[in-house]
Amino acid sequence: MIGFYLPMRLAEILNLTWEEIDLKTGFIRLGGLRTKNKTGRVIPFNQRIFKYLISLPRPIHGGYVFDQRWWNRKEFVKAVNMAGLGDFTFHDLRHCAINNLRLAGNDHYSIKKVSGHKTDIAFQRYNLVTEEEILGMKWLDLKNDEQRTMDTYMDTKAL
C-alpha cells in the first residue's frame, strides 16, 4: 500500500524506521543517507497510510516499521499474476504513485520534491499523459472585451 500511494523506493520502504515517521504532521522524513541520490526529503502521507501506520505494532523504543526487511519477490510475482498485471515490477508502483499525485492535481515541482527527482528528465519518465487528459486542457480565456497585460515576469535570481 505504501508503494502505491507514496513515491518511495523499495529499500526506503523496507528500511523505514518509526523515528522517520512523524504521525503528528503526516510526514515521513528520510535523511540523505537513506535516499538513492543522498539528498534528504520529506514525504507527506494521506489518511489511508496514516490509518495503516497506526494499526501496526510499534515498539516502545522505536526501530524498524517492518520486522521483515527483505522483499519476497516470489509472493509479489504471484500477486501480480493473480491480478493479471503482466510485466509489472515493484518499481512500477513508484511510477503509479508519482502519476497519481499528478492526476490528483499536484504541481510537478511538489511531486518532484517528494519523489526525490533532481532533474525534469528523470521526473518525466514517471509520467504518462494520455490523450484524454490532453482533451481536458484548460485555457485562460478573456471575458468579452476584457483587456489584460501579458505576464512575462520570471525571477531569474531564484534559479
**Position 147 in a domain:** no
pLDDT in tens, 94-118: 999 998 998 898 988 999 999 998 8
**Position 102 in a domain:** yes
CATH number at residue 55: 1.10.443.10
Domain that residue 119 falls in: 2-135
pTM of the model: 0.77
pLDDT, residue 157, reads 65
**Position 144 in a domain:** no
Number of domains in the chain: 1
pLDDT, residue 74, reads 93
Cα–Cα distance measured from residue 129 to residue 123, given in angstroms and rounded to the nearest whole number = 13
Cα–Cα distance measured from residue 27 to residue 110, given in angstroms and rounded to the nearest whole number = 14
Cell 502521507 sits on residue: 45
**Position 151 in a domain:** no
